[in-house]
Amino acid sequence: MKKIKTQLGLIILITAIFAIGIVAQETQQTSAFASSAEGIGLDLNAVAEVFKDSKNLEDFEHKLNNEESGINNVDLDENGEIDYLRVVENVEGDTHLVSVQSVLAEDQFQDVAALAVEKDVNGYNFQVQGTPTLYGANYYVVPRATNLSNWNVINWMYRPNYSPYRSVYGWRTYPRSWRVRRPVPVNTYRTKTVRYVGRKNFTPSQTVRVKTVKRVRYNPRTSTLVKKKRVVRSNGNKTVVTKKGTKTRTRTNANGRTVKKTKGVKVRKNKNTGKTTVTKGKKKTVKNQKGKKTTVKKVKKRKKKN
In three-state form (DSSP H/G/I as H, E/B as E, the rest C), the secondary structure along the chain is CHHHHHHHHHHHHHHHHHHHHHHHHHHHHHHHHHHHHHHHCCCHHHHHHHHHCCCCHHHHHHHHHCCCCCCCCCCCCCCCCCCEEEEEEEEECCEEEEEEEEEEECCEEEEEEEEEEEEECCEEEEEEEECHHHHCCCCEEEECCCCCCCCHHHHHHCCCCCCCCECCCECCECCCCCCCCCCCCHHHHHHHHHHHHCCCCEEEECCCCCHHHHHCCCCCCCCCCCCCCCEEEEECCEEEEEECCEEEEEEECCCCEEEEEECCEEEEEECCCCCEEEEECCEEEEECCCCCCEEEEECCCCCCCC
Say what the pLDDT of residue 19 is.
43
State which residues of the chain have pLDDT below 70: 1-39, 228-306
Residue 223 shares a structural domain with residue 283: no
272 lies in which domain range? 245-298
Do the domain assignments include residue 233? no
Say what the pLDDT of residue 155 is.
97
In the chain, the number of structural domains is 2
Q: What is the pTM of this model?
A: 0.68
Residue 104 shares a structural domain with residue 215: yes
Residue 179 shares a structural domain with residue 257: no
Say what the pLDDT of residue 247 is.
47
Do the domain assignments include residue 239? no
